[in-house]
Chain A
């Protein structure tokens, strides 16, 4: 029996060589053994694979899937990865030792690649087929000079713990308005837009989808139900402590796959919040390989991998959605059907203003929540004699201190414009702008409110909200609510 074992049929010493040489003993053993069904070709020096160095901040799982598939598809290349967050990458690309970089593939809310494109650090991309649209809604998927292209999209969604929803008998959160209902009091996890960078996206999605006045009215009621968190939304929902969180879809998509009770829900009013872009550096030492890499990521094969990673992304090639299954959200279909009501970029210049308004709204969030709970309780009683005052109280809590025209007026913008020297150095005009303007909280660190116009304006909004809330409270007291 022993003659059937690998100990006897294969060499009895470790097989290893340097520079492709079999040892004489190994070779004789292999031949004399007579058991070899096949022998690898003589080991010669491999023709060198040309390296493509890719700068990225995609997570390891995403990149590992892409690089392995690419290297199998294009065996003449090997990918070398350098990982950096985009602001660091921007700095790094101005260093002399960055000359070995070929490609920058970015995953970030702000398009940093557009910044370096303006500096002329990118070279033209290869031409692509018609299967890659140039935009989805107002989100550009390629710039005019065609030096960078989007490879993936991120949309806004809800992260839902279905077990918690069922256990608490909550209505299914199919859209924003459901989250404003009384049943959701204290059950909505929300990143605090005042404290979390890019947290303002949730405000912009609602305001654009519902309009300025109705949007703020809805936000006020949702915030009355919300728990504002600086971080940890996912953990709160996955643990079941809170049944729903408002979140860009990357994490909800991952969580949906990771844990059984977790589900990602795209509300009826949603939007693409950003795209991730790729570009080839002008100084690329392997431009041919770089083009091959970019072409692969944008090919059907590469695009199909993006939703399958730990941090799933939406492909930019519409045709691939047909092969991704019915459960896969298709943003291009959603765009056509009018579900993507958010138009990134329209908030340009208003981010700090909207964020400051939100800060004023939640200055006393506990009070706001209590007042909404009282309104909801009174409305549930449905006493016709009290209906008018309850409706007035509701209107007061929904009211926003300034209208849309005022919010976009030059005097308000001027108040929130950063002092000279603090402006963003290169903000792409054609793309979503984030945190471009001064936020009052940051300004107060070194400047008194008397000298800080943004702070002065924000204080007036806080007073307006407080006044409305006081009036609402009085009305509710009058009806015994």
Chain B
């Protein structure tokens, strides 16, 4: 265990006050700006927030919010990232995906090493279409349950999704690689973006001593037109916040931006190709994308709670000694933000992530490579704010597809490089497991 990672905990707690407020957590806990924004900055933040909440209209109606589709999943950023938080999966096969989608591809590599798009459906299933354009089909989840016995004899029920596609409008999906994903939290992203690559490289080097092999995804930067380290997304498949958002606009809502100016319709999606275009292109201007970027960049992670609680303190120690902190790095220092050095100056943050890819084993694998990320690799998701998911989002689902129904299930699903840490957890007596979970709930 790296001493600097362990020693960083206390400092992280102290430094967290740089960007947090000490208020009782509410459903708005993920919606607060970082502190220190002046009136002009707040106005930009509010403009970006408006864009984030805005539903898009079917062209040619809608004025400056005309541009939905022709194919899409949801109407607004906030649909999948409700209250800037975490999406969830359906509980039954009857329910549809309201804050979740399914990524698609074929085996092989696409342009610049990206996933190979399916010739009929592209890289994600768009369930919806504007009037006159059939949606691509439906994905439903059937949960398969299994039992896992922990060292003290506790039986834990786990569930794993099985996807089914119905009403496919553009032919079969045979051979497609699929990956269901819930919407990720969008707070704290500016701080994560400001972590220097050298810091992450250093963390990766330290991890190797413990048999953990964090690595960068290498993805295509559409702005710089070159390969770049991936940092955002479940598989770190996007290099920057603006690109991540622009990808979501075109992929999830069918809204064009300067980064992705073309509507995405497959050759056989004739109605899609023939749909009435918006009067203005791109549908989301660069200025408005900048406002959104400012908003997402400056959303603060929520403050920790109950930090002096003895149980939380015990759990924090166990989090470290179990090896969880090797990947869920508790503390790191940012550099000045690359685009907003004034409003996001260098600071110490406590994201509980290394932003690196790790092989998480067959249990969590989706089998769908994404640039350099293999079918079993996932980016270590930041844990800050995870304890407030029930408060903000009204559920307690975790992991990329929402399979974990509580934090303990999420821990036990860890495999691959995290097997040793998980095994240490499952060998703990129940009281200590509760301590560790209490610590996670304090984040």
Interface string of B81-123 (1 = CB under 8 A from A): 0110000000001111010000000000000000000000000
**Is B375 in the interface zone, CB < 8 Å from A?**
yes
Q: Which of A16, A40, A257 has the most B CB atoms < 10 Å from its CB?
A: A16
**Is A46 in the interface zone, CB < 8 Å from B?**
yes
With both chains docked as a complex, state the minimum distance between the C-beta of B100 and any C-beta of chain A, in angstroms.
12
Interface string of A1-36 (1 = CB under 8 A from B): 110111101111111111110100000001001011
Task: Assess whether B61 is in contact with A59, with CB atoms less than 8 Å apart.
Answer: no
**How far apart are the CA atoms of A101 and B132 in the complex, in Å?**
11
Given A46-B166, A67-B98, A83-B57 in contact, is the A5-B365 Cβ separation under 8 Å?
A: no
Task: Assess whether A46 is in contact with B140, with CB atoms less than 8 Å apart.
Answer: yes
Residue of A with least CB distance to B362: A12
For B157, the chain A residues whose CB sits under 8 A away are 37
**Is A100 in the interface zone, CB < 8 Å from B?**
yes
Interface string of B157-193 (1 = CB under 8 A from A): 1101111111100001110111100000000000000
Task: Assess whether B144 is in contact with A60, with CB atoms less than 8 Å apart.
Answer: no
**Is A409 in the interface zone, CB < 8 Å from B?**
no
Residue of A with least CB distance to B163: A16
For B149, the chain A residues whose CB sits under 8 A away are 4
**Is A64 in the interface zone, CB < 8 Å from B?**
yes
Task: Assess whether B412 is in contact with A18, with CB atoms less than 8 Å apart.
Answer: no
**Is B427 in the interface zone, CB < 8 Å from A?**
yes
Interface size class of A (residues with CB under 8 A): 35 or more
Interface size class of B (residues with CB under 8 A): 35 or more
**Is B313 in the interface zone, CB < 8 Å from A?**
no
For B284, the chain A residues whose CB sits under 8 A away are none
Residue of A with least CB distance to B94: A75
**Is A445 in the interface zone, CB < 8 Å from B?**
no
Interface string of B4-36 (1 = CB under 8 A from A): 000000000000000000011011100100000
Task: Assess whether B142 is in contact with A43, with CB atoms less than 8 Å apart.
Answer: yes
Residue of A with least CB distance to B43: A235
**Is A229 in the interface zone, CB < 8 Å from B?**
no
Stretch at the interface among A84-92, A245-253, A264-272: A84-92
Task: Assess whether A13 is in contact with B365, with CB atoms less than 8 Å apart.
Answer: yes
**Is A402 in the interface zone, CB < 8 Å from B?**
no
**How far apart are the CA atoms of A63 and B75 in the complex, in Å?**
11
Residue of B with least CB distance to A39: B144
Task: Assess whether A97 is in contact with B61, with CB atoms less than 8 Å apart.
Answer: no
Task: Assess whether B78 is in contact with A60, with CB atoms less than 8 Å apart.
Answer: yes
Given A40-B144, A83-B56, A257-B27 in contact, is the A92-B61 Cβ separation under 8 Å?
A: yes
Q: Which of B79, B146, B361, B413 has the most A CB atoms < 10 Å from its CB?
A: B146
Residue of B with least CB distance to A254: B28
**Is A68 in the interface zone, CB < 8 Å from B?**
yes
**Is A239 in the interface zone, CB < 8 Å from B?**
yes
Q: Which of A10, A19, A45 has the most B CB atoms < 10 Å from its CB?
A: A10
With both chains docked as a complex, state the minimum distance between the C-beta of B400 and any C-beta of chain A, in angstroms.
12
Given A14-B368, A60-B76, A84-B62 in contact, is the A40-B93 Cβ separation under 8 Å?
A: yes
**Is B286 in the interface zone, CB < 8 Å from A?**
no
Task: Assess whether A37 is in contact with B176, with CB atoms less than 8 Å apart.
Answer: no
Task: Assess whether A5 is in contact with B151, with CB atoms less than 8 Å apart.
Answer: no
Task: Assess whether B422 is in contact with A5, with CB atoms less than 8 Å apart.
Answer: yes
**How far apart are the CA atoms of A83 and B176 in the complex, in Å?**
32
11 sampled A-B residue pairs with Cβ under 8 A: A2-B423, A11-B160, A38-B145, A43-B142, A60-B76, A64-B98, A67-B98, A81-B75, A88-B63, A91-B61, A258-B31
Top 9 closest A-B pairs, CB basis? A83-B55, A88-B61, A14-B367, A40-B142, A12-B362, A60-B76, A6-B363, A7-B415, A97-B131
Q: A1-B423, A67-B98 are in contact. List 10 more A-B contacts (CB 8 A).
A: A7-B415, A14-B177, A36-B144, A60-B55, A60-B78, A64-B78, A75-B95, A80-B128, A92-B58, A241-B39
